[in-house]
Amino acid sequence: MKNSADVVIIGGGISGCCIAYNLAKKGVKNVVVLDKSYICSGSTGACGAGVRMQWGTEMNCRIAKHSINFYEHANETLEYEGDVEFKQKGYLLIADTDKEIEQFKKNIEVQHKCGIPSRMVSLEEAKEIVPHLNTSILKGAAFCEKDGFLNPFLTTDAFYRAAKKLGATFYTFTEATGIKVENGKVKGVQTNKGFISTDIVVNAANGWSKEICAMAGIDIPVYSERHQILVTEPVEPMQDPMVMSFGLNLYVQQSPHGSFIMGRGDPNEPHDLRITSSWHFLEEMAKTIDKVLPAIGRLRVIRQWAGLYNMTPDRQPIYDKSAEAEGFYMAIGYSGHGFMFGPVTGTVISEMILGETPTIDVSVLNLARFKEGKLFLEPSVV
Amino acid sequence: MENTIVCRCSDVTLKQVRDLIAQGYVTFDEIKRITRIGMGPCQGKTCGQIVQREIAMAIGQKMSDVEFQTNRPPVVGVRLELIAKEARRNEEQR
C-alpha cells in the first residue's frame, strides 16, 4: 500500500468515486480512495436509484438539475464500456391532501426559477401517465418529464473505472481507523492496513460521516437512520415514471429489466447504523402499494434490504472544509439524495480542494449554518 | 463458456463472470452489482455456488471462505397484496 498521497478520500460510493474522478481529471496525481468494504457497498448500492429535479429549495433544485444534465451524457463523458441505464421517463409526484398540492405549487415556482420543466397535472392526466394509479384517493399531482432513474451500481462503476484510468488508486476492504491532525492541520490517515500521510482528507463516508469527522476531532449535527426498500419479480414494462408521494410515504419505479423497486420512510426509526430488514416495513409497504397502485400489489416481493440516510437538520448536504482541521473536507449529510447529487459533489469538492471558482456556488451548504441557524429546510423528502 | 448460462434469472454467462473476476471483481457482491447475478426470483440459490467456486479457483481460496451475499427476507416470493391483506386483518383483531 502507498504510504503517502496528495488526497485521501474515505468512502467508495458515488461521492467518493466522483470526487476521485474529478480530482484525477484536473491533474491531481496521487489520489487514494479507501472503502472498508467493496466499491458501492454502502448507501449508494442500497439506494432507490431515482434522480429528480422536483425539490423545494433552490439549492437542491440547482444541484439536481446540474447532476441530471451530467447523467444524460454520462456514458460518453466517462467513456464507459457498459451503460448506466438512465431511464428519463419522469417523476410523478402525487398528493392526497390540499396542503400538499399547495406545497407542490410553491415548489414549482422555485423549480421554474431554476429552469426546471415541472408542472401540475390533473388527475386525468396523471392516470394517462400511470394507468394503474388509484386516482380516487388523490387530489392532484406534479410531473417533471426530465426526472428519472439510473443504475447506481453501474453509474458508480463508470466513475470508478474512469478515475482508475486517470491514475486514482482504490483500496477496498481497507478501513480508516484514525485521522492524524497536528497543530490544526491534517497529516494523514491510519487504516487497518497501514498509515498514509496526506495533507488532504475527504470525508465521503455518508452513513459513517459522523464517526469519520470524530476521528479528526470534529463534531457535526448529523445522524444516520435505516431506510428500507423492496423489489418484486420482473414483469413486462407497465410504468414509465417514478411515482412518489410525501404524504402517502412512498416511491416506486419499474427498473429497465422489469422489477418494481419501492421504499418508504419510518418516522419511528431509531438513529443508528443498523441495516437489517424488518417485517413491519414489509407490511406497511404492502398496504401502501395495495392502496395507491393496486396492480403492483399482485406482484411477488423477492427481496427487501436497507441502507442508511445521513440526515442533517435541514435535509440538505454539507459541502465544506473544516475550520478546525485544515485539509479536512466534508461531502456528507445527503439526507437520502446523495446518489442523485453525485456529479455535483465531485465537481464542487474538487474545485474547493484546488481553490478554483465553483461551477455552482454551494457556500450556503457550509457546516456553520447549523450553529448560526441559517437553515433552508427541504420540505420534500421521503 | 459464452453460451453457458450461470444465472437463469438474469441470463448471466460464465464468460461474463470470469471476465469480471479477471478484472478484479472478486466478491459475489461486486459481481452481483455489475451483472445482476443473484438479484432475480431465485436470489442466488442457483448461481451462488457456481460463482463462489469460480472466485475460489481464481484467487486460490477455499470455496467455503468466499462470502455469499447477505440473505434477506422473504425466503420465497410472496404477493404484496396478500401481505397487505394479512396486515389489515391483524390490525382489525387488535
Domain extent listing, chain A: 7-46+153-221+314-372, 87-146+223-310
Residues within 8 A of A (CB atoms), B 40-69 only: 40-41, 43
> By the CB < 8 Å criterion, does B27 face chain A?
yes
Best A302, A305, A339 residue to mutate vs chain B (most B CBs within 10 Å)? A302
Q: Name every chain B residue with its beta carbon within 8 A of the beta carbon of A231.
A: 39
List A252's β-bridge partners, or say none: A243, A262
Mean pLDDT value of segment B38-61: 95
Fold category of B5-93 in CATH: Arc Repressor Mutant, subunit A (1.10.10)
Q: Name every chain A residue with its beta carbon within 8 A of the beta carbon of B30.
A: 38-39
Mean pLDDT value of segment A73-86: 97
For A288-298, how does the pLDDT look when each residue is reduced to its tens digit (9 = 90+)? 999 999 999 99
Q: Which residue from A minimizes the CA distance to B26?
A: A38
- The closest CB to that of B43, out of A39, A277, A303, belongs to A303
Give residue A326's pLDDT.
98
pLDDT band at B2 (very low <50, low <70, confident <90, very high): confident
Mean pLDDT value of segment A74-86: 97
Domain A87-146+223-310 -> CATH class: alpha beta
**Architecture of domain A7-46+153-221+314-372 in this structure:** 3-Layer(bba) Sandwich (3.50)
Tell whether the model's pLDDT for residue A379 goes beyond 90: no
Q: Name every chain B residue with its beta carbon within 8 A of the beta carbon of A41.
A: 29
CA distance A320 to chain B (A): 31
SS3 sequence, chain A? Answer: CCCECCEEEECCCHHHHHHHHHHHHCCCCCEEEECCCCCCCCCHHHCCCEECCCCCCHHHHHHHHHHHHHHHCHHHHCCCCCCCCCECCCEEEEECCHHHHHHHHHHHHHHHHCCCCEEEECHHHHHHHCCCCCHHHCCEEEEECCCEECCHHHHHHHHHHHHHHCCCEEECCCCEEEEEEECCEEEEEEECCEEEECCCEEECCHHHHHHHHHHCCCCCCCEEEEEEEEEECCCCCCCCCEEEECCCCEEEEECCCCCEEEEECCCCCCECCCCCCCHHHHHHHHHHHHHHCHHHHCCEEEEEEEEEEEECCCCCCEEEECCCCECEEEEECCCCCHHHHHHHHHHHHHHHHHCCCCCCCCHHHCCCHHHHCCCCCCCCCC
Tell whether the model's pLDDT for residue B26 goes beyond 90: yes
| Averaged confidence pLDDT in chain A | 97
C-alpha cell, A98: 390540499
Q: Name every chain B residue with its beta carbon within 8 A of the beta carbon of A38.
A: 27, 29-30
Tell whether the model's pLDDT for residue B14 goes beyond 90: yes
- The closest CB to that of B80, out of A82, A157, A301, belongs to A301
Asked if A289 lies within 8 A of B84 by C-beta distance, the reply is: yes
d(CA A97, CA A127): 18
Give residue B17's pLDDT.
97
C-alpha cell, A281: 416495513
Cα of first residue to Cα of last residue in chain A, in angstroms, is 41
For A42-57, how does the pLDDT look when each residue is reduced to its tens digit (9 = 90+)? 999 999 999 999 999 9
CA distance B74 to chain A (A): 6
- The closest CB to that of B29, out of A38, A154, A299, belongs to A38
Q: Report the 10 Å Cβ neighbour count for A115.
A: 10
pLDDT band at A376 (very low <50, low <70, confident <90, very high): confident
Q: Which residue from B minimizes the CA distance to A233?
A: B41
Cell 498514509 locates to: A196
For A145-193, how does the pLDDT look when each residue is reduced to its tens digit (9 = 90+)? 999 999 999 999 999 999 999 999 999 999 999 999 999 999 999 999 9
Q: Name every chain B residue with its beta carbon within 8 A of the beta carbon of A298.
A: 79-81
